[in-house]
Structure 1
Amino acid sequence: MAIECQSDYIKVNDKLYPCTVSLAMDLIGGKWKAVILYHLRDTRKRYSELRNHLPGVTERTLSLQLKQLEEDGLIARQVYGKKPPLKVVYSLTEFGRSFNPVLDAILGWGNQIATEKGEFVNSL
């Protein structure tokens, strides 16, 4: 299954990657992207709803991560209304939904780690 080894680099959207793992991590890497995708996996959400699910993220970081996910085609941003306050709703694209099996694996692994090495707590 060494598809990535067919050449020295992988080129996607004019960006060169040394391997397919590097390509995937560019799309979903970082502290918040996968978490954002997780919270959008079952339903569309407004910015404020996402913000409530991610209490540790700053407004600036959330905005930047959403913009990057949109630019990479993983999420769609739909704006309702013509003047402020606008209603903005985010959802997964078909490409974004293709990441769900990976999210399921990450979720399962995270649950296993929490069960074996940690504990679930209700509040800090």
Structure 2
Amino acid sequence: MATRKKNSTYSRNENIIIECDLTYAVNKIGGRWKILILSKLEEKKMRFSELKKEFDYITERMLTLQLRALEQDGLVKRTVYAEVPPRVEYELTEMALEFGPIFKQLSAWGGKHRNSAKKDVA
């Protein structure tokens, strides 16, 4: 994975932003697909092909990038088995498993307010 220049605007902003605990947490799970991937892996270990079937609307490249980012952030563990053909499995780390109750609360909040927002528009 490419590394960013330490003096780039993005890196400087990221260093300031992650000094806030809440922003740090949101930064780790933020993005379009990370929460969906984490929620699927909460159920069981999965191979790349299984994840791809679950998210057929995500390109392979995007899924790979998101899994790498989650792995780099310590939320996903990637295990490569020395088999032919090679087998790779992804699973949540202990740190990621701590998100479980938070995801359930966030999902409940989203369901409640998404439905009320639809009513307000109608």
For the superposition of Structure 1 and Structure 2, which TM-score range results when normalised by the shorter chain? Answer: 0.7 to 0.9
- Report how far residue 52 of structure 1 moved: 1.2
1:1-124 → structure 2 map (5 Å cutoff): 15-16=15-16, 17-83=18-84, 85-113=85-113, 115-116=115-116, 117=118
- Report how far residue 47 of structure 1 moved: 0.6
Unaligned runs of 5+ in 2: 1-14
- Report how far residue 108 of structure 1 moved: 1.7
More helix by share: 2
- 1:100 maps to a residue whose letter is G
TM-score of the superposition, structure 2-length normalised? 0.74
- Report how far residue 112 of structure 1 moved: 2.9
Q: Give the whole-Å Cα distance in 2 for the aligned partners of 1:79 and 1:72.
A: 18
Q: Give the whole-Å Cα distance in 1 for the aligned partners of 2:60 and 2:31.
A: 16
Q: Give the whole-Å Cα distance in 2 for the aligned partners of 1:63 and 1:89.
A: 13
TM-score of the superposition, structure 1-length normalised? 0.73
Question: Deviations 1:32-76 (Å, cap 9, x if unpaired)?
Answer: 011100001121111111111112211111101101111111110
- State the match for 1:8 in structure 2: none
More strand by share: 1
Counterpart of 2:57 in 1: which secondary structure? coil
The alignment of Structure 1 onto Structure 2 pairs a total of residues equal to 103
Question: Deviations 1:72-116 (Å, cap 9, x if unpaired)?
Answer: 111101111255x31111000100101111111122233335655
Any runs of at least 4 consecutive aligned residues in structure 1 with deviations exceeding 6 A, and if so which?
A: none
Sequence identity of aligned pairs in percent?
39
CA RMSD of aligned residues (A): 1.9
Question: Deviations 1:3-23 (Å, cap 9, x if unpaired)?
Answer: xxxxxxxxxxxx442412221
Larger mean Cα displacement after TM superposition, 106-115 or 96-105: 106-115
Is the alpha carbon distance of 1:53 and 1:69 closer, same or farther for their aligned partners in structure 2, counting shifts above 3 Å? Answer: same
